Amino acid sequence: MDKIAQLREILGKSTRAVFFGGAGMSTESGIPDFRSADGIYSETLHKEYSPEQMASHSFLIAHPAEFFDFYRSRFVYLAAEPNPGHYALAELERRGILAAVVTQNIDGLHQAAGSKTVYELHGSIRRAHCMDCGAHYELDFILHNRPVPHCTCGGIVRPDVVLYEESLDTDTVEGAVAAIRAADTLIIGGTSLIVYPAAGLIDYFRGDHLVLINRTETRADGRAELVIREPIGDVLHDATPDLGA
C-alpha closest to that of 25 among 80, 86, 71, 66 = 86
Instruction: Please indicate whether residue 122 is annotated as part of the active site.
Output: yes
> Residues 168, 200: contact at Cβ < 8 Å?
no
CA atoms within 13 A on the CB side of 192: 9
Neighbours of 183 (CB within 10 A): 27
> How far, in Å, are 54, 100, 145, 236 from residue 35 at the CA level?
15, 26, 30, 23
**Active-site residue identified among 122, 129, 150, 209:** 122
Three-state secondary structure of 40-92: HHHCCCCCCCCHHHHCEHHHHHHCHHHHHHHHHHHCCCCCCCCCHHHHHHHHH
Characterise 24 by phi-psi region: left (phi > 0), alpha (psi -120 to 50), beta (else). alpha
Q: How far apart are CA 157 and CA 140, in angstroms?
A: 11
Known catalytic residues are: 122
